[in-house]
Amino acid sequence: MVFNESDISIWQIPRNVYRQTLYSNAELRQLARESTRLGAFLKQALDGVASAVAKMGGNIGETYVLGDTPLVTVTALQSSFEPDPSSSLYIVRPTPLIDDEGGYTANENGRPMRVYTSVDNRMSFQDMKLKFVEHDKAIP
């Protein structure tokens, strides 16, 4: 419905862009140690994920993708002068149609659609860290 019949603007963040949003275990340990209660909470939650994966014989490695960080970056962390996620890169292409199997069908007459090719992870993670610190200072 959204792709084929509506006129809703679409901003798509593909999986490969989400996978760029990596936070290392070393950064997480530093965040928990130096920063905040929220940093410690996040580390504890991700340690729980690592433990659950280890029980199944897996290993999450040295990095973790932090959830919906790209959505925050492109919607909340926009330029002051022109409301747009100007520090993240995208291309504009015609919105494809979705076929009966859920795949894309080219539609050269489709309305313009943004497809993000990268997000500003430096800004996202620094903003997160500093907001964690501000949160701790606001709570006695």
Q: What is the pLDDT of residues 13-56, one digit of tens each?
A: 999 999 889 999 999 888 888 767 888 999 999 999 999 999 99
How many degrees, rounded to 5, is the angle at CA 125 between CA 119 and CA 129?
A: 160
DSSP 10: -
- What is the pTM (predicted TM-score) of this model? 0.80
- Residue 11 backbone dihedrals phi, psi, to 5 degrees: -115, 110
Which pLDDT does position 81 carry in this prediction?
Answer: 80
Contact 118, 20 (CB under 8 A): yes
Domain ranges (residues) in the chain: 1-14+67-135, 22-65
Tell me the mean pLDDT in the region 120-131.
91
DSSP 29-79: HHIIIII-HHHHHHHHHHHHHHHHHHHTT---TTEEE-TTHHHHHHHTS--
| pLDDT 10s digits, 70-117 | 888 888 888 878 778 788 999 999 999 999 999 999 999 999 999 999
Sheet of 89-94, strands arranged across:
11-12, 112-118, 89-94
